[in-house]
Amino acid sequence: MTYYAIPKEMSEILLARGILIWQPYVRIIYRAGKKKNDIIVDSLIPKMCNDPIVTVLLSRKTKLVKLSKGTSLSGGMFLKPAMDGYDVMNFFRKAYSKVEELLEKTSQDFDEQVQLDIDWQRYRAIFILTRRLMERHRPLFRYFVGKTEAHPYAVALFLKSLIENGLYIKKDSTVEVLSCERVYYPLIITSDLRIFEIAWRLKNSLTYAWVLDKFPKVREFYERILKRKDEECGRKNPNT
């Protein structure tokens, strides 16, 4: 079954500032150990980035949005998914292994590992994206509130907390996928490449902004979409 995430009230205002994209997401209901989880995950961009960490950061609790079998919005561009629910779960596993590797490497030498080939700075933005989670773990993360820099070991530790406490996935946990369903998640993209997740909040998405900044391939992908839309509008209006 296919669902649509329902845009929040007043999202029509943002529609006038950009174009509507129906981003492919997958809803996964699964059991990890004794805990059950219900999430939606971007099923295109993580594959494009080829980075399992992106899969973690572009995951949302399903309860954050409202799903419907139809949508009141007309038009928009529907993008094709590149991953299914099982691919996503595999990326979660890879993300956990990657974080474990980062923790091991950075704990061995707190200073020298900063200059490794791994792009540590790529993950700095998570401290902005997950402030609420940080506040729930004050004994561990109080130090990072308001910081713009963080040591790789701290970043890896925080990512591990996201995976274990948000996704309930741990090193030896057994994961059983109960169901997978396609979800179209509305995004508004403006001409200056700001992205709004209008089914969640009517603010510029820090997550997608970070992805656009760190992954040129994704930025170029959305730039081509904007250019294509501009060309279509030009053909429809002979006076321009």
When pLDDT is averaged across residues 116-141 and rounded to a whole number, the result is 45
Where residue 201 falls among pLDDT bands split at 50, 70, 90?
A: confident
* Residue scoring higher pLDDT (155 or 80): 80
**SS3 of residue 195 by DSSP:** strand
When pLDDT is averaged across residues 207-211 and rounded to a whole number, the result is 90
- Contact between residue 82 and residue 26 where contact means Cβ atoms under 8 Å apart: no
Q: Is the pLDDT of residue 134 over 90?
A: no
How many CA atoms does the CB half-sphere of 186 hold within 13 Å? Answer: 30
3-state secondary structure 43-108: CCHHHHHCCHHHHHHCEEEHHHCCEECCCCCCCCEECCCCCCHHHHHHHHHHHHHHHHHHHHHHHH
Mean pLDDT, the chain, as a whole number?
A: 81
Burial class (CB in 10 A: 0-12, 13-18, 19+), 194: middle
Nearest to 124 by CA among 216, 44, 214, 219: 214
**SS3 of residue 16 by DSSP:** coil
pTM for this model (two decimals): 0.80
How many CA atoms does the CB half-sphere of 18 hold within 13 Å? Answer: 23
Cross-strand bridge partners of residue 41 = 26, 59
Q: Is the pLDDT of residue 230 over 90?
A: no
**SS3 of residue 214 by DSSP:** helix
The per-residue pLDDT for range 55-65, each reduced to its tens digit, is 999 999 999 99
The per-residue pLDDT for range 54-95, each reduced to its tens digit, is 999 999 999 999 999 987 777 889 999 999 999 999 999 999
Where residue 28 falls among pLDDT bands split at 50, 70, 90?
A: very high
When pLDDT is averaged across residues 164-191 and rounded to a whole number, the result is 93
The alpha-helical segments, DSSP class H, found in the chain are 11-15, 45-49, 52-57, 85-108, 126-129, 131-136, 138-141, 152-161, 206-214, 216-236
